[in-house]
Amino acid sequence: MAEVAGHIGPLIGPKTVVLPAMNGVPWWFCEGMQGVLGDSRLQSIDPDGSIIAAIPLRHVIGCVVHASARIIEPGLAEHHNGQGLMIGECDGRDTARVRNLAGLLTHAGFDVTVSSHIRRDLWYKLWGNLTINPISALTGATTDRILDDPLLRTFCSAAMGEVAAVGEHIGCGVEQSAEERHGVTRKLGAFKSSMLQDVESGKPLELDMIVGAVREIGQRVGVPTPNIDILYGLTRLFARARGLYPP
């Protein structure tokens, strides 16, 4: 992401809007939360501050994607289902640029929701995919097989409880049980997570954005994350052995 940001920075003008449609915790997530987290920069995401320097928060509109797709080849994506986009100012304000962007995206065929708490919406999605993504990468299993295994389902619920506990400390509470979320995910049927697709394509894993950042935030607010720690360590070692994560 730091390398990509370096190329995006020179393209940004005074009124340019950047809509990062990405999984996990984005680089801007903790900006303005120093009273809760101390240093706003996450070491797991932007250790040297190069991303936030290249793409300042004032240009960012937050985005949560609810869609399933896969890359067939460079420049060609296959859409499976869903066209949901949640967008919103990082500080929750109702602004003309968000409304204008929502209109453009709706005209393009997306199902757009304007959010007044985009951080909480990002955290909610993360609460659901923090476990499924790395477990699918480790096992090669589709989501239905993961959730149909009682041992893995119990593990997912425990790790999701840790994500929810961290969220409570940063104003991103989750008003749903893990079992309720499992039911929603299970109805989607058999699909490969984005992280499993990356493993199969030999691409670097989004491990720090999806797992490492939650672990780091948990440490800052004093919430233990033993299950997340284990999942992070296992997946990190798995990815390093395949050249998909930095040594």
Strands 76-89 and 111-114: parallel
Could you tell me what percent of the chain has a pLDDT over 70? Answer: 99
> What are the catalytic residues?
125
- Asked whether the predicted pLDDT for residue 154 surpasses 80, the reply is yes
Give the C-alpha distances (Å, rounded to integers) separating 9 from 18, 54, 57, 67, 244.
Answer: 10, 5, 12, 27, 26
**pTM here?**
0.92
Structural domains of the chain, with CATH: 2-116 (3.40.50.720), 120-241 (1.10.1040.10)
Convert the pLDDT of each residue in 100-121 to its tens digit: 999 999 999 999 999 999 999 9
